[in-house]
């Protein structure tokens, strides 16, 4: 099966709120992103994954969408989006958007209609249920705390929300909901967007009997048994047939519960569903039944190796892996996966990059990971913005009996705000991110961890990522083979690209006879555009 473009690509995730502010309001925006695209082109990435920029009340920083076809004014205008997309394409980079279709905002027109009356045509766009014995219909807990059910006085029923109560779940059982989603996907693809990262797409199919389970320390039962792992594939195949099949897209599904077996369906190389999935086995290696992910343990290397070994061999030849250490929901890679002092931080960051980028699959770089950016030293939960962090602090101190410091240790280790502090561009005020007051504090270590200090330093973390990306591309651009006859060996090297490509001559051929070359002088360690030569030696 011919390789797809996204199998050779490296993806860079931008969290718009924290990437680059252009108007001094302290919040990143689309013109800011556009101004930094040359930086990404220098890094060499092929695809940008843009976290949501749609209209939103920002209860969950844009993962609560109130209009799927409008840009949030804080990020700019649709013209700003179009300019960013055009510039990215000019620089040879594709752009995939974040499709958040498991739920909308409670401020979306659909939900306002749905909650207005039990007979409203939009009522079944969401899940509404009567009380059971005067209580919530079931005892499952939401990801951001409390019940998955919220009482709505207007029509005296509960509505379902697996995340915050401002994120009501869309009812995918309703074909009109699916039609709406496919239409909005078409809207963005027709604008030239190159695909989607699909937020919690593994959760769109649910056990609509809404069972209860064994309550945990919070008094609620775990959410995950709600997921219907079979039906989701039916709807993804329908999505493929109705929309995706008409475009050359890359799609990556966030599938927290995916296993190697289900990923063979989600990410099958036959193109029937998605290009790839984000699985959560490695990022879920730490945690406890009582505290969930809010622990300070480091993952064991033996466990980490086992996870990647299983996914690399398990999908080989059948489906395609994504490869990632962090994203906007995870702590910073170099703070999370190793115990690195500042003295070893850069070395550790390069090691993590090398380990991940040379595996088989599509690697993802989260903004700032290429600089070795670290977690933030949050002193109090008030310094955190994320609704999940605030819920976690309450759960740890009230349900788990943790002290303030124990709770803060957990937040400093694992909270999502670690990844959301502003991008560190230089050692100047607010790290060059904004001329105003940043929405989240800039890490003080921007004084020495910043892009300006690294982009022209061959030994920097940035340059290491750049070489790894080149390496991935080179393997797509070099045609190298060796022939043997008795003691004689001939190495034939051909650069099929117009780019300079790093190439180290194998030691046995150093100093050997050079023939069939198309440049007069031998290459040092870089092949020039379309360079070819053969080396002849007697072993």
**Which residues, 6 or more positions from 349, have their beta carbon under 8 angstroms from its beta carbon?**
333, 334, 340, 369, 372, 461, 464
Binding test (CB under 6 A) with ligand TEU, winner from 21, 29, 46, 60: 60
Instruction: Clarify whether 290 is annotated catalytic.
Output: no
Closer to ligand TEU by Cβ: residue 28 or 256: 256
In the Cβ-directed half-sphere of 16, how many Cα atoms lie within 13 Å?
Answer: 25
3-state secondary structure of 197: strand
Binding test (CB under 6 A) with ligand TEU, winner from 136, 273, 329, 474: 329
Closer to ligand TEU by Cβ: residue 168 or 372: 168
Least distance (Å) between residue 302 CB and ligand TEU: 24
**Which residues, 6 or more positions from 520, have their beta carbon under 8 angstroms from its beta carbon?**
none
Residue 46 binds ligand TEU (CB under 6 A): no
Instruction: Clarify whether 254 is annotated catalytic.
Output: yes
Residue 463 is encoded by which pair of tokens? 């340059």
Least distance (Å) between residue 166 CB and ligand TEU: 11
Closer to ligand TEU by Cβ: residue 329 or 370: 329
DSSP 193: -
Residue 388 binds ligand TEU (CB under 6 A): yes
Catalytic residue among 29, 80, 169, 254: 254
**Apex CA 169: angle with CA 164 and CA 171, to 5°?**
175
Residue 50 binds ligand TEU (CB under 6 A): no
Least distance (Å) between residue 66 CB and ligand TEU: 14
Residue 440 and residue 18 in contact, taking contact as beta carbons nearer than 8 Å: yes
Q: Name the closest residue to ligand TEU (Cβ).
A: 63
- Among residues 67, 70, 66, the alpha carbon closest in space to that of 79 is found at 70
Q: Strand pairing of 250-254 and 195-198?
A: parallel
* Residues 154-193, mask of contacts with ligand TEU (x by CB under 6 A): ---------x------------------------------
- Among residues 277, 295, 276, the alpha carbon closest in space to that of 285 is found at 295
Binding test (CB under 6 A) with ligand TEU, winner from 30, 100, 384, 523: 100
Residue 200 binds ligand TEU (CB under 6 A): yes
**Which residues, 6 or more positions from 180, have their beta carbon under 8 angstroms from its beta carbon?**
110, 125
Residues written for the chain: 539
Question: Which 3-state string (H, E, C) describes 98-167?
Answer: EECCCECCCCCHHHHHHHHCCCCCCHHHECEECCECCECCCCEECCCCCECEEEECCCCEEEECCCCCCC
Least distance (Å) between residue 74 CB and ligand TEU: 17
Residue 199 binds ligand TEU (CB under 6 A): yes
Distance CA 61, CA 53 (A): 9
Closer to ligand TEU by Cβ: residue 44 or 52: 52
Residue 215 is encoded by which pair of tokens? 């309550």
Distance CA 223, CA 147 (A): 10
Closer to ligand TEU by Cβ: residue 84 or 99: 99
Considering only residues 289 through 318, tell me which ones interact with ligand TEU, judged by CB under 6 A: 293
Distance CA 528, CA 509 (A): 19
Closer to ligand TEU by Cβ: residue 256 or 372: 256
Catalytic residue among 60, 199, 326, 413: 199
DSSP 501: E
Residue 126 binds ligand TEU (CB under 6 A): no
Binding test (CB under 6 A) with ligand TEU, winner from 143, 177, 402, 407: 143
Least distance (Å) between residue 386 CB and ligand TEU: 8
Residue 63 binds ligand TEU (CB under 6 A): yes
Considering only residues 449 through 488, tell me which ones interact with ligand TEU, judged by CB under 6 A: none
Note the residues at the interface with ligand TEU (CB under 6 A).
Answer: 60, 63, 100, 143, 163, 199-200, 254, 256, 293, 328-329, 388, 416
- Catalytic residues, by residue number, are 199, 254
């Amino acid at each position: 099966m011919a390789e797809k473009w996204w199998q050779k690509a490296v993806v860079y995730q931008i969290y718009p709120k924290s990437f680059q502010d252009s108007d001094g309001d302290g919040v990143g925006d689309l013109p800011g992103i556009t101004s930094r695209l040359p930086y990404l082109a220098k890094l060499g990435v092929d695809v940008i994954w843009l976290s949501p920029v749609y209209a939103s009340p920002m209860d969950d920083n844009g993962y609560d969408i109130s209009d799927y076809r409008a840009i949030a004014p804080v990020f700019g205008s649709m013209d700003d989006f179009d300019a960013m997309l055009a510039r990215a394409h000019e620089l040879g980079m594709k752009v995939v958007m974040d499709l958040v279709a498991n739920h909308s905002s409670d401020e979306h027109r659909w939900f306002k209609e749905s909650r207005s009356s039990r007979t409203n045509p939009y009522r079944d766009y969401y899940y509404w249920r009567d009380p059971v014995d005067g209580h919530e219909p079931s005892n499952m807990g939401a990801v951001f705390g409390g019940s998955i059910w919220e009482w709505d006085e207007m029509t005296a029923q509960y509505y379902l929300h697996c995340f915050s109560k401002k994120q009501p779940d869309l009812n995918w059982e309703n074909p009109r909901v699916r039609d709406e989603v496919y239409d909005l996907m078409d809207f963005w693809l027709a604008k030239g967007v190159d695909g989607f990262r699909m937020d919690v797409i593994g959760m769109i199919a649910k056990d609509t009997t809404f069972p209860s389970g064994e309550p945990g320390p919070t008094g609620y039962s775990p959410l995950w048994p709600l997921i219907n792992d079979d039906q989701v594939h039916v709807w993804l195949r329908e999505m493929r047939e109705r929309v995706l099949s008409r475009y050359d897209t890359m799609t990556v599904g966030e599938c927290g519960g995916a296993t190697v077996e289900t990923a063979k369906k989600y990410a099958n190389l036959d193109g029937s569903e998605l290009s790839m999935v984000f699985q959560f086995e490695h990022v879920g290696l730490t945690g406890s039944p009582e505290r969930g992910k809010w622990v300070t343990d480091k993952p064991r290397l033996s466990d980490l190796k086992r996870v990647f070994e299983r996914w690399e061999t398990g999908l080989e030849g059948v489906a395609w892996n994504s490869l990632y250490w962090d994203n906007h929901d995870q702590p910073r890679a170099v703070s999370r996966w190793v115990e690195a002092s500042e003295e070893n931080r850069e070395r550790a960051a390069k090691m993590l990059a090398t380990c991940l980028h040379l595996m088989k699959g599509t690697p993802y770089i989260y903004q700032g990971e290429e600089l070795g950016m670290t977690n933030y030293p949050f002193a109090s939960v008030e310094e955190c913005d994320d609704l999940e962090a605030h819920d976690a602090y309450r759960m740890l101190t009230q349900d788990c009996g943790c002290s303030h410091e124990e709770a803060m240790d957990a937040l400093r280790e694992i909270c999502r705000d670690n990844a959301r502090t502003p991008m560190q561009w230089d050692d100047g005020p607010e790290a060059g991110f904004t001329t105003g007051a940043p929405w989240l504090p800039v890490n003080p270590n921007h004084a020495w961890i910043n892009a300006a200090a690294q982009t022209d330093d061959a030994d920097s973390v940035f340059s290491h990522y750049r070489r790894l990306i080149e390496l991935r591309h080179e393997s797509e651009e070099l045609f190298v083979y060796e022939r043997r006859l008795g003691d004689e060996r001939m190495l034939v090297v051909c650069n099929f690209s117009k780019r300079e490509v790093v190439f180290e001559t194998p030691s046995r051929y150093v100093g050997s006879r050079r023939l069939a070359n198309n440049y007069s002088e031998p290459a040092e360690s870089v092949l020039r555009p379309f360079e070819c030569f053969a080396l002849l030696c007697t072993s």
